[in-house]
Structure 1
């Protein structure tokens, strides 16, 4: 079994900083999201909201119809376009709120272009099936059932041990894999594994994975020279801490907290960041 590194508050602090006098919106990180759909426009809104709240200086959304309209209604500072071609971004987020079964040829062609490009790509939900063979630096974010389907696609042997399983899949893909759960596991292509336990059970609600995608995009865009798996761990820790803040669970674990929705987590991100950089 691979050794497991436990990720903590102080580890996360290395990937967050206060903007200085020489910063502008581009130096703070540009995030592009190709997420959501007419069936699931909320996924686009949640990812865009989280990217802004996690400190991105510029957010571009690629999409049309209900999803694009919903993004502009919620976050009018977002730049919206119908195609990703020519967009200069520091990191992409794709797949959230989409379904591979309804993907058009044009959509698949554009997604494959992003997956073979130079910028890191956060790959979620309806784009996970396109990850094998891609050349961009990837962070895959499956939940348990999506991870099992990915194992089947790769022909990877089933393993009851989550640590060994995530390390094996990351090595086979040559990518970073973030396996979501009560204990989030992040494995890099060399098989090193990080465990993040900063969250709360109240995060087990629809849309929080879309928020995580936006946080990942923001931190990847803002830490271009850092190890991808470590940036992913910092994003997972920050997302979990925001969930604790939103649900009223103290840092010491006292009190049961209360139910939350995904947008609560996105809105708590600035407070979570303030806690880390204080």
Structure 2
């Protein structure tokens, strides 16, 4: 895959539910995100996952973010159990992570369920074996490359993402005004559906939740979790995220205007609906 990701491409990652579906057949996503320092990240990611469309979200986290998640989305299940994919790391800091949490994250990363790895869990990405989608921004990507012993990335972001993907054996989604998605083996694309208004706190947490929902739904639907398939799902999540941002800013008037991360999450159902309507 080369070139820019499109709405028809995104349609392949979505499925309209049928009368035969239940919450498990639509996908169950587990989330270990947020912290006492950054509890809002958990709320944003969980909100985005629900609004992208799936059967259940299980949230496992500290007491404060758990309370906030349940206050905002009481349908969330705050107990461990069956899941089909994970999102980890959003709103966390590796330097503040305790041994028990590190052990729990490493267990997920060595299992067979696919994992979206964000922010404070990226330091564990290189040693993992589970199918993974890594979602760094530029500074996180630079830190990851240093830890891997790779040279500083030059101006070719796509080439750098491909190199990191090969070194980690994971899909790399490098966030930016043009988001780059790369997989081991040379699969790569760019996603340019977004808006400059996305450059605001919390939108990365929304992106991780949206991608996680699509991964869980894909697993529930029997799709493979090879690198190219996960890369396509990651690109689709980024496309929906960008489209939701455009919808949110357009709702403010012909000239658009500033939006928040929660505005982007709130616009995700409309973005999903647009894609399904044209599929």
Q: Provide TM-score, normalisation by structure 2.
A: 0.94
The answer on whether the counterparts of 2:41 and 2:91 sit within 8 Å (CA) in structure 1 is yes
Mapping of 1:166-245 within 5 angstroms?
A: 166-224=161-219, 225-226=223-224, 227-245=229-247
Backbone CA RMSD of aligned residues = 1.5
Question: Does 1:96 pair with 2:90?
Answer: yes
* Paired residue secondary structure (1:178): strand
The answer on whether the counterparts of 1:37 and 1:67 sit within 8 Å (CA) in structure 2 is yes
Structure 1 outlier segments of 4+, above 4 Å: none
The residue aligned with 2:73 is: 75
Question: Does 1:153 pair with 2:152?
Answer: no
The residue aligned with 1:267 is: 266
Mapping of 1:10-89 within 5 angstroms?
A: 10-81=8-79, 84=80, 87-89=81-83
* Paired residue secondary structure (1:33): strand
The residue aligned with 1:257 is: 256
The Cα of 1:89 is off from its aligned counterpart by 0.8
How far apart in 1 are the matches of 2:189 and 2:66? Answer: 35
Q: Provide TM-score, normalisation by structure 1.
A: 0.94
The Cα of 1:18 is off from its aligned counterpart by 1.3
The residue aligned with 1:126 is: 120
* Paired residue secondary structure (1:73): helix
Structure 1, unmatched stretches of 5+, are none
The answer on whether the counterparts of 2:248 and 2:259 sit within 8 Å (CA) in structure 1 is yes
Aligned residue-pair number? 269
* Paired residue secondary structure (2:240): helix
The answer on whether the counterparts of 1:168 and 1:191 sit within 8 Å (CA) in structure 2 is no
How far apart in 2 are the matches of 1:182 and 1:123? Answer: 20
Distance 1:197 1:255, change over 3 A: farther
